[in-house]
Amino acid sequence: MATVLVASNRGPVSYKLDEAGSLDARRGGGGLVSGLSAVSSQDSLWVCAALGAGDREAVRRGVGEPGVRMLDIDPDTYTDAYNGIANSVLWFLHHHLYDVPREPVFDAEFRRLWESYRSYNRAFAEALAAEADEGAAVLVQDYHLALVPGQLRELRPDLRIAHFTHTPWASPEYLRMVPDDIREELLRGMLGADQLGFHTEEWAAAFRNCAGDGAAGTRVEVYPLGVDAEELRALAHRPVVDERLAGLRAEVGDRKTIVRVDRTELSKNILRGLLAYRELLTTHPEWRDRVVHLASAYPSRQDLESYRAYTASVAALADEINAEFGTPDWKPVLVSVKDDFPRSLAAYRLADVALVNPVRDGMNLVAKEIPVVSEAGCALVLSTGAGAYDELKEDALTVNPFDVSETAEALHRALSMPPPERADRSKRLAAAATALPPQRWFLNQLEALRA
Ligand code: G6P
C-alpha cells in the first residue's frame, strides 16, 4: 500500500528479452523520474503499462523494481488504446495535427477503439484503487489516462486525485470535432480529479474553455516543468559524452552549429526547420561551409503510418539539402536517427544556435536544456507554439512556426549574434529554464493536492 501514487503509460523502467531468454532492464530518465525521487520510495508506487513483449515477460516472471507496478493489459486492448486512441486521436486533437479534409473520421471502428481506451484506463483505475492507502495522493499523467480520475473517484472517493497534462490542450473549436458523448466522457474523466495541472496558462485556459461550468469543482493550475541544472550538467560531462563530443568536433571543424533534438514527431515541425535552413543557405550564401546543422531526430511511434512517412520525409529533405549545397568537405546537415542521449548532450554542449520550432508543444524541455548545457552560450530560435515560449520569450529569437522565411532570418540573426550578447541571453534563458526543477514541480503539486 502506498500514500503517493503516480500513474503513467510509460514507466521508469523497461525490459528487453534477449536471445538467451534473459531480461535486460533499462531505466529511463525524464522529469517525472527526477520529480518522484523527491518522495521516499517506501511510501510511493508508480503504476505503468507493460509496453512490449519484454515488459510482459517481466510481469509474468514477477521480475520488477521496488516501487513500480507494471500492468499486463491484454495486448490488443493496449494497442487499440495506445496507438488507436491516445496517439492517433487525443494527441492529434491536442496538437491540432489533423489534415482536416481527410481526418478525423469518427465511425464504428473509432467506437470500438474507444471501448479499448476505456478498459485500458479502467485497468489503471482498478490497480490504483487496490494499491492506495486511505486518503492517499494519486498523480495521474497525460492524455493516455484522461478517464482515470473519474473512474478512480467512483471506486475510491477517499483519495486525493491529480491529473497532469504534458501536452497542450485542444482549443474548444478543435475539440468540438469529437462526438458529443465522447467529448463529455473525456471531460468528465478529467474532472474527476481534485486538481488538474498544465505546463502553461494557455493550455489551462484551453481546458477551462472546453469544460465551461463543468470545471467548477476542480482546481485547474499551471506548473511549468523546468530542468535540474546540476543533474543535467553532471550528465553532460560524463566520459561517454566527452567521447561523442570529440567525434562531433571532428565532423564539424571550426564551423558554427545549429542544433535540434526531437523525437521524429509530427508536432515538432522538423520539415519546416529544414526548409528554413535551406532558405538560409540560399538567401545568406555567406553561411555556406561555415555552419553545420546537427539534427537529431530519433524514432518514435513507428507503428503509426503517418510517423513512418514523416520520418522518411525528414531523411529525404536532409538528403536533398546535402545534395544541393554539400561539397566534398562540407556536409550541411548531419541527421542522427539513433536515440543516443550522450550524443544529444554532446550536441547541446557544442550548440551555437538551438532550433526549437514545434507547431504546438506542451512544454519542450529541449528549449530549456540546451541553454543550460551549451558551453559558449547559445542563441535560441524558439517557436511561439512551444509551451516554453511563455517563460523564454524575452531572451529567445521567437518565430511563427509556419513562417519558414522568418525562421531562416532568425537563424541568420542567431548565427550573427555577438558572443557577449549570446552569452548574456543564454545565462538568462538558463535561469528561466531552471526556475521549477522536477522535484519542486512534483512537490508543489503534491502539497497543493494535500492542502
Ligand atoms: C510526450 C508525452 C509523454 C510520452 C512521450 C514519448 O512527451 O507527453 O507522455 O511518454 O511523448 O512518447 P511515447 O509514445 O514514446 O511514450
Q: pLDDT-based confidence at 30, cuts 50/70/90?
A: confident
Q: Whose CA is nearest to atom 5 of ligand 1?
A: 10
Helix 239-252 and helix 341-350, axial crossing angle in degrees, nearest 10:
60
How far, in Å, is the centroid of ligand 1 from the Cα of 450?
27
pLDDT score at 264 = 96
Amino acid at 81: A
Confidence of residue 20 (pLDDT cuts 50, 70, 90): very high
User: Which residues sit opposite 298 in a β-bridge?
Assistant: 263
Atom of ligand 1 nearest to the CA of 144: 9
**CA nearest ligand 1 atom 4, residue:** 10
pLDDT score at 37: 87
217 C-alpha to ligand 1 centroid (Å): 29
Q: What are phi and psi of 381, to 5 degrees?
A: -95, 115
**CA of residue 358 to ligand 1 center, whole Å:** 15
Atom of ligand 1 nearest to the CA of 141: 9
Query: β-pairing, 132-141 with 256-263?
Result: unpaired
DSSP for 289-357, please give it: TTEEEEEEEE---TTSHHHHHHHHHHHHHHHHHHHHH-BTTB-SEEEE-S--HHHHHHHHHH-SEEEE-
Q: Kindly report whether the global pTM for this prediction surpasses the value 0.85.
A: yes
User: Which tens digit of pLDDT belongs to each residue from 230-255?
Assistant: 999 999 999 999 999 999 999 999 99
Q: Which atom of ligand 1 is nearest to the CA of 142?
A: 9
Residue type, 433: A
pLDDT above 90 for 29: no
Atom of ligand 1 nearest to the CA of 86: 14
| pLDDT surpassing 90 at residue 40 | no
- The pLDDT score that the predictor gives to residue 169 is 98
| Average pLDDT taken over every residue of the chain | 97
The reported pLDDT for the residue numbered 240 is 98
Nearest CA to ligand 1 atom 14: 301
Pocket of ligand 1 (CB under 6 A): 10, 142, 166-167, 300-301
Q: Which residue, by CA, sits nearest to atom 16 of ligand 1?
A: 10
How many angstroms does the Cα of residue 136 sit away from the middle of ligand 1?
26
Dump pLDDT digits (tens) for 186-229.
999 999 999 999 999 999 999 999 999 988 889 999 999 999 99
Region 384-398: what's the mean pLDDT?
98
pLDDT band of residue 42 (cuts 50, 70, 90) is confident
Q: 150-185 pLDDT, tens per residue?
A: 999 999 999 999 999 999 999 999 999 999 999 999
Compute, in angstroms, the gap from residue 285 CA to the centroid of ligand 1.
Answer: 38
How many angstroms separate the alpha carbon of residue 133 from the centre of ligand 1? 28
For residue 8, the ligand 1 atom closest to its alpha carbon is: 9
Average of pLDDT values for 332-357? 96
Mean pLDDT over 379-394 rounds to 98
- The percent of residues above 70 in pLDDT, for the chain, comes to 100
DSSP characters over 14-47: EEEE-TTS-EEEEE--SHHHHHHTTS-TTTEEEE
Q: Mapping DSSP to helix (H, G, I), strand (E, B) and coil, where does residue 409 land?
A: helix
The ligand 1 atom nearest the CA atom of 362: 8
Question: What spacing in Å lies between the alpha carbon of 12 and ligand 1's midpoint?
Answer: 12
Q: Whose CA is nearest to atom 8 of ligand 1?
A: 166
261-296, pLDDT tens digit by residue? 999 999 999 999 999 999 999 999 999 999 999 999
